[in-house]
Amino acid sequence: FADPAWDMMLDLLAARLEHERVSVSSLCIAAAVPPTTALRWIRTLTDKGLVERQADPHDGRRVFIALAQEAADALIRWF
């Protein structure tokens, strides 16, 4: 739909179904927009409770993003 938030949510849903983790940098690439725009969308989705940030226990510089349970359930119902 040419919307960065939608592209991110789809990428996160696919990762969830495949039991994979998605880093912030990977999610920025999936959004297909400039990194600053992608980071702004990640912040918006986090603020709205649609995604959650998870620190990497092995690398303090890395953060993973995951769909919140309610968002994942809603997307699965929609599909």
pLDDT tens for 36-65 read 999 999 999 999 999 999 998 888 889 999
Write the CATH number for 71.
1.10.10.10
In this predicted model, what pLDDT tens digit does every residue of 4-43 receive, in sequence order? 999 999 999 999 999 999 999 999 998 889 999 999 999 9
What is the count of structural domains for the chain? Answer: 1
CA triple 14-17-20, angle to 5 deg: 80
Domain boundaries, position 18: 4-78
**What are φ and ψ of residue 29, in 5° steps?**
-65, -40
Please report which residue ranges of 1-79 form alpha helices under DSSP H. Answer: 4-17, 24-31, 35-47, 69-78
Q: Measured between alpha carbons, how far is residue 43 from residues 1, 8, 48, 61, 77 in Å?
A: 20, 12, 9, 17, 24
